[in-house]
């Protein structure tokens, strides 16, 4: 122990690993988001539900507006929508006052069962997801997940995904903790449940900017998925049907948002993940962790 350190204390680990030495070991875990990342190509399940539920309260919102807060816990998502100037003004015009916390709760109480009901029709896994998880486990890696969905929603989703070959060892949902995205708290819970550290040994994969921010805040490698996710916003069939120029433009916009949130690299879908892990481990071998910034594409 150094003389300047107080007796009875242990120095905290650095961002890269124990003590002050950079972490050079292998990757230990991947933490996935769910909708738009592992399942529900295009993250379609919540969109129609938001539009329909707001309509029940006399408020018209667009799919584009509904997508603006994807990745947040759903109550926070509803609050964000009600704070958008156009929607806030529409609420005031209909009800003669600004929206209050009780209004958020009432809309949420209608939204939650409607979202649960929409899950079975939108539970198909993203192509390649089951294979990637199998390959990760063959490497000895652990599989965790965080989500903006609640436990009630995931209780429906989990068995449907399991039948398609997608199983995770840890699931942390919106509402499990007092703090959700973009804080790192759900990631910290995942580290504990999986028994993995340091953060530089963990990769977060997500299709939303707020999910990328969550991974970065936790000190993990954060990889964005553009084409299967919320930013691209189309089913696989519709995405495949786009003209090349339209596809490239839409992909670039989704990737830009993820990069701006701090993504170390952006891929199209989880099917493209394995080469990224090799690139991360090659960089770790040089002593450079996530704090060194983006990976070379």
What are the catalytic residues?
33, 74
Cα torsion for 252, 258, 263, 268, to the nearest 10°? Answer: -50
Q: How far is CA 174 from CA 116, 142, 177, in A?
A: 14, 21, 7
Rounded distance between C-alpha atoms, residue 281 and residue 226, angstroms: 22
Q: Burial level of 57, CB count in 10 A (0-12/13-18/19+)?
A: middle
Dihedral sign of CA atoms 25, 29, 33, 39 in order: positive
Count CB neighbours of 296 within 10 A: 6
- C-alpha span between 110 and 74 (Å, rounded): 12
């Amino acid at each position: 122990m150094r003389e300047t350190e107080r007796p009875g204390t242990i120095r905290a680990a650095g961002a890269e690993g124990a003590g002050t030495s950079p972490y050079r070991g292998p990757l230990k875990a991947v933490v996935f988001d769910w909708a738009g990342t592992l399942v529900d190509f295009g993250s379609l399940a919540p969109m129609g539900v938001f539009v329909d539920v707001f309509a029940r309260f006399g408020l018209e919102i667009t799919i584009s507006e509904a997508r603006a807060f994807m990745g947040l816990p759903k109550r926070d998502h509803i609050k964000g929508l009600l704070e958008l100037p156009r929607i806030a003004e529409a609420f005031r015009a209909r009800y003669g006052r600004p929206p209050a916390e009780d209004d958020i709760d009432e809309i949420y109480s209608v939204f939650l069962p409607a979202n649960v009901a929409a899950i079975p029709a939108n539970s198909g896994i993203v192509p390649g997801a089951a294979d990637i998880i199998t390959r990760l486990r063959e490497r000895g890696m652990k599989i965790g997940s965080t989500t903006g969905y609640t436990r009630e929603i995931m209780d429906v989703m989990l068995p449907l995904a399991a039948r398609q070959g997608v199983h995770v060892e840890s699931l942390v949902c919106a509402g499990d903790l007092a703090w959700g995205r973009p804080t790192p708290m759900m990631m910290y819970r995942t580290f504990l449940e999986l028994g993995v550290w340091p953060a530089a040994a963990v990769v977060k994969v997500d299709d939303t900017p707020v999910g990328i921010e969550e991974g970065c805040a936790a000190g993990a490698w954060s990889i964005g998925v553009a084409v299967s996710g919320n930013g691209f916003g189309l089913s696989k069939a519709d995405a495949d049907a786009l003209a090349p120029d339209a596809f490239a433009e839409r992909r670039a916009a989704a990737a830009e948002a993820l990069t701006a949130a701090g993504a170390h690299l952006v891929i199209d879908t989880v099917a493209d993940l394995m080469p990224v892990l090799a690139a991360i481990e090659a960089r770790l071998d040089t002593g450079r962790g996530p704090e060194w910034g983006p990976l070379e594409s």
